Amino acid sequence: MRTNLMLATAFSALAALTVLPGCAVNRDQSTVGEYIDDATITTRVKAQFVESKLVDAAAISVETLNGEVMLSGFAKSASEKAEAERIARSVKGVKSVRNALQIRAAETHNQS
């Protein structure tokens, strides 16, 4: 019984080592490691947005592919858009930033 369990565990580990390193994970990425690196960059950028009082982290989407960060969503002003890009560029591992943030017109509320 114990031998069967050890063989099953060894086989599973061997299969994972054989299959995973060469897998294409997402959007033409070549390795699992690159996918994990991109996920780490995305998390770091979002964390910096949350810490900043100058950007609205909830209004900005961050995606990373091969170290290229794509910002999308809405900014309240040109300065917020620029700050979001500056923050993203400062994160370790970021190779480039594509800033597709749209500047949302200020909303006015009429009270009668």
Strands 96-99 and 68-75, by their bridges, are: parallel
pLDDT value of residue 36: 81
- Predicted pLDDT at 85: 98
- The tokens describing 93, both together, are 């591992």
Q: Does an H or E element contain 93, and which?
A: none
Provide the residue ranges of all domains of the chain, joining segments of one domain with +. Answer: 23-103
**Domain formed by 23-103, architecture:** 2-Layer Sandwich (3.30)
Q: Chunked in runs of 10, what are the mean pLDDT values of the chain (112 residues)?
A: 47 45 48 83 97 96 96 97 98 96 74 52
Q: What is the pTM of this model?
A: 0.67
